[in-house]
């Protein structure tokens, strides 16, 4: 692998003053813009074992663009093993992690890395990450999968199997909520399990001496169809609703499901992609494990034809842009 990672984890372990490239403009700093009132809004929790799970999921996707899924069928030991190998990877010596460094010049997003300043005015984010494809098998490059720690490949392959099942279920429920056949959304995005691309990421947010000046991740919506996220119990994830930021409360055993840009667009705005960001702690490391569900690269970004029929206009028009082009523009902060 090429490239040298300027690790935030290493920086945090020997930091004196906070480097200026991490300091956010005053209006972006978290304490001044976060609502922590006596009764903060509660992100919807959907019990996927109940008969009304589909309608609850649809309501959450319309109103929030995010929900916490419980009784989701993913075994606790599979989640725990995924977390174990992620934690142990970031505990390895830096030279071992560096073997998997991503090369920004290559245009590839897979590998071990940190934030890149794409323009002089950009602010870096306070996090490192490991990122690689887990499905379909033909798209997987095991060169980006660490050989250490023990069991890394097995843990990710086992978790991937559960994510493929959960992905189908979420897409079926959300399709039905639009009045489409259950398989319509999956068919549009990829035509089945081997058309959808699942990307596994491990985020590492080390303690920061001045957390009120930085962000672990800047405000954004996910460019994919949707995201399934495992988080530890350290607070940090925040979502925006009605122009205000709210802390996401930790629900033990839950998986976070975030609606992304492609579902918002395909639904013609009936579902909303959630705007979210990550804050960091002064004392504690925070970690999260998102799986991003991507359409096939040649998918044309547009509302579903049946949702713009008759007198209902399309709210989105990307001039037949493919998902590959959409992704390139969003990553590089170019107009769509």
**Does 232 participate in catalysis according to the annotation?**
no
**Does 220 participate in catalysis according to the annotation?**
yes
Mean pLDDT of 240-264: 93
pLDDT at 335 over 70: yes
Mean pLDDT of 307-326: 90
H helix and E strand count, the chain: 9, 13
pLDDT at 1 over 60: no
Give the pLDDT confidence of 135-168 residue by residue, as tens digits: 999 999 999 999 999 999 999 999 999 999 999 9
The residue annotated as part of the active site, out of 148, 220, 284, 315, is 220
The residue annotated as part of the active site, out of 276, 294, 304, 325, is 276
The percent of residues above 70 in pLDDT, for the chain, comes to 92
- Strand boundaries in 117-273, DSSP class E: 128-135, 197-205, 217-220, 226-231, 237-241, 244-247, 255-259
Answer yes or no: pTM beyond 0.85: yes
pLDDT at 195: 84
Give the pLDDT confidence of 56-74 residue by residue, as tens digits: 999 999 999 999 999 999 9
Mean pLDDT of 192-197: 80
Average pLDDT, the chain: 91
Q: What is the pLDDT confidence band of residue 3, given thresholds at 50, 70 and 90?
A: low
Separation CA 248–CA 230 (nearest Å): 13
pLDDT at 174 over 80: yes
Separation CA 29–CA 282 (nearest Å): 15
The residue annotated as part of the active site, out of 201, 261, 294, 304, is 201
Separation CA 146–CA 130 (nearest Å): 9
3-class SS of residue 157: helix
Which has the closest alpha carbon to 236: 137, 94, 127? Answer: 127
**Does 222 participate in catalysis according to the annotation?**
yes
**Does 201 participate in catalysis according to the annotation?**
yes
Report the DSSP pairing between strands 226-231 and 255-259.
antiparallel
Highest mean pLDDT among 7-11, 79-83, 187-191: 79-83
Q: What is the pLDDT confidence band of residue 117, given thresholds at 50, 70 and 90?
A: low
pLDDT at 142: 95
Please report, for residues 74, 88, 92, the alpha-carbon distance to residue 150 in angstroms, rounded to integers and kept in the order given. Answer: 22, 9, 12
The residue annotated as part of the active site, out of 128, 222, 261, 325, is 222
Give the pLDDT confidence of 19-50 residue by residue, as tens digits: 899 999 988 888 655 555 434 568 999 999 99
Query: CA-based angle 139:294:202, to the nearest 5?
Result: 80
Mean pLDDT of 212-216: 94
């Amino acid at each position: 692998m090429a490239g040298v990672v300027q690790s935030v984890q290493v920086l945090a372990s020997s930091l004196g003053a906070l480097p200026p490239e991490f300091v956010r403009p005053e209006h972006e700093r978290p304490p001044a813009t976060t609502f922590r009132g006596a009764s903060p809004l509660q992100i919807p929790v959907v019990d996927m074992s109940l008969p009304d799970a589909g309608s609850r999921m649809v309501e959450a996707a319309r109103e929030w663009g995010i929900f916490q899924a419980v009784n989701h069928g993913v075994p606790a030991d599979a989640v725990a093993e995924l977390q174990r190998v992620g934690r142990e990877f970031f505990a390895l010596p830096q030279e071992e992690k560096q073997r998997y460094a991503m090369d920004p010049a290559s245009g590839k997003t897979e590998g071990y890395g940190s934030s890149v300043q794409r323009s002089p005015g950009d602010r870096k984010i306070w996090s490192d990450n490991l990122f690689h494809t887990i499905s379909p098998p033909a798209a997987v490059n095991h060169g980006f999968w660490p050989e250490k720690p023990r069991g890394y490949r097995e843990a990710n392959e086992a978790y991937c199997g559960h994510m493929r099942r959960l992905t189908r279920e979420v897409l079926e429920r959300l399709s039905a909520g639009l009045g489409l056949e259950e398989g319509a959304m999956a068919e549009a995005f990829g035509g089945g399990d081997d058309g959808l691309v699942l990307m596994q990421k491990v985020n590492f947010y080390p303690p920061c001496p001045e957390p009120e000046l930085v962000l672990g991740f800047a405000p954004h919506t996910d460019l994919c169809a949707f995201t399934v996220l495992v988080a530890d119990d350290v607070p940090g994830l925040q979502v925006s609703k009605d122009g205000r930021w709210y802390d996401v409360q930790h629900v033990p055993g839950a998986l976070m499901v975030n609606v992304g840009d492609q579902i918002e667009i395909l639904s013609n705005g009936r579902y909303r992609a959630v705007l979210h960001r990550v804050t960091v702690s002064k004392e504690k490391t925070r970690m999260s494990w998102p799986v991003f569900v991507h359409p096939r690269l040649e998918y044309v970004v547009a509302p579903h034809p049946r949702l713009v029929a008759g007198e209902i206009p399309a709210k989105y028009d990307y001039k037949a842009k493919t998902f590959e082009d959409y992704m390139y523009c969003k990553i590089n902060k170019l107009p769509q």
